[in-house]
Amino acid sequence: MQKTSTDMYTEAITSQLPKGRSRVMTIPDSAVCLTCGKFNTDDPDFIRLTAGSPFKFHDRSSVACSCAQDNAERAKAEERRFRDSNLPNVISPHTFTDWDHDTEGTAEMFEAASQFANGEGPTVLVLCGGVGAGKSYMLEAIGRFCFDLPRTTVRYETSKSLLDNLQSTFDRDNPSTFQNLMDWYQSRSVLLLDDVGAETSTEWRVSQLTDMIEHRLQYGKRLGITTNLDRGEMIDRLGDRIGSRLFATNPRVPVSLVVTTARDYRR
């Protein structure tokens, strides 16, 4: 016969009484958690009926419900995960579902973005094209799709913002803060960098961006990039190492490059 919640509590408090003595009480259903069958120890009836019990509060772990606390902790973790994702357009989010498929010249980009979001194909996706072609929209749609996947961490950021964040923590005499931030970025399941090449380029910034891209290529971590630059412009702005990787034509390099011909859809 399966024990009831009341049986659990009776056994627990009986173990606290002198040998040979017992105590029987009935706890109302309103004080029982419907999820786990244990007691809501903050319930007024539970507090009233157990007042003065030798079964002290800190001894109630075996019968006390922790669902509310667990749910609160999960909610906080989910809020933190969303905050860390840095996804834009919270009020009017950009998703695959809401994309206008009648936008001319975007079919290949949409297909590549969808495959990348589903973990299919190369681990690095580069969306290249003019201003207003929908590249940033697709990058956000990827982020929102991946965010809903279990055990997936996402970070969306402009290339300029990411490099600004890294540079603000850089200190040759105390490199740990910078390295911790770099490691945090690299630990994201999906890293999305918008508008690569639009940032101010210095040797240091190009070096950090190069290291980040090469790390994700080497370890098979997903990286989504948008840029308005073509291969020649990318090499001129950010150097041959970045240009040759993001515009790779070698099938052994895990990069999917989509050059969209779409015009500015916002006009």
Confidence of residue 25 (pLDDT cuts 50, 70, 90): low
b/e map 157-174, b = 16+ CB within 10 Å? bbbbebbeebeeeeeeee
Answer yes or no: is pLDDT of 46 > 90: no
Q: Which of 226, 80, 238 is nearest to 157 (CA)?
A: 226
Q: What is the pLDDT of residues 84-94, one digit of tens each?
A: 999 999 899 99
The structure tokens listed for 39 are 């007691």
Instruction: Judge whether 86 and 156 are in contact, CB under 8 Å.
Output: yes
CA pair distance 239, 255, nearest whole angstrom? 18
Angle at 252 between CA 248 and CA 256, to 5 degrees: 50
Confidence of residue 23 (pLDDT cuts 50, 70, 90): low
The domain segmentation of the chain, as residue ranges, is 5-65, 82-259
For the chain, strand residue ranges (E) read: 124-128, 154-158, 190-194, 222-227, 255-259
Q: What is the pLDDT of residues 122-175, one digit of tens each?
A: 999 999 998 878 999 999 999 999 999 988 999 999 999 999 999 999 998 888
Q: What is the pLDDT of residues 170-214, one digit of tens each?
A: 998 888 999 999 999 999 999 999 999 988 889 999 999 999 999
pLDDT for 261 equals 81
Q: Is 3.40.190.10 the CATH number for 82-259? A: no
pLDDT for 20 equals 52
Q: What is the pTM of this model?
A: 0.76
Answer yes or no: is pLDDT of 3 > 70: no
CA pair distance 114, 108, nearest whole angstrom? 10
Q: What is the pLDDT of residues 64-112, one digit of tens each?
A: 777 767 777 888 888 999 999 999 998 999 999 999 888 888 899 999 9
Q: CA distances (Å), 160 to each of 103, 157, 223, 250, in order?
A: 28, 8, 16, 28
Summarize the confidence of residues 222-231 as an average pLDDT: 95
Answer yes or no: is pLDDT of 1 > 50: no
List, in order, residues 6 or more apart from 45 with CB less than 8 Å away: 27, 28, 30, 31
CA pair distance 111, 109, nearest whole angstrom? 5
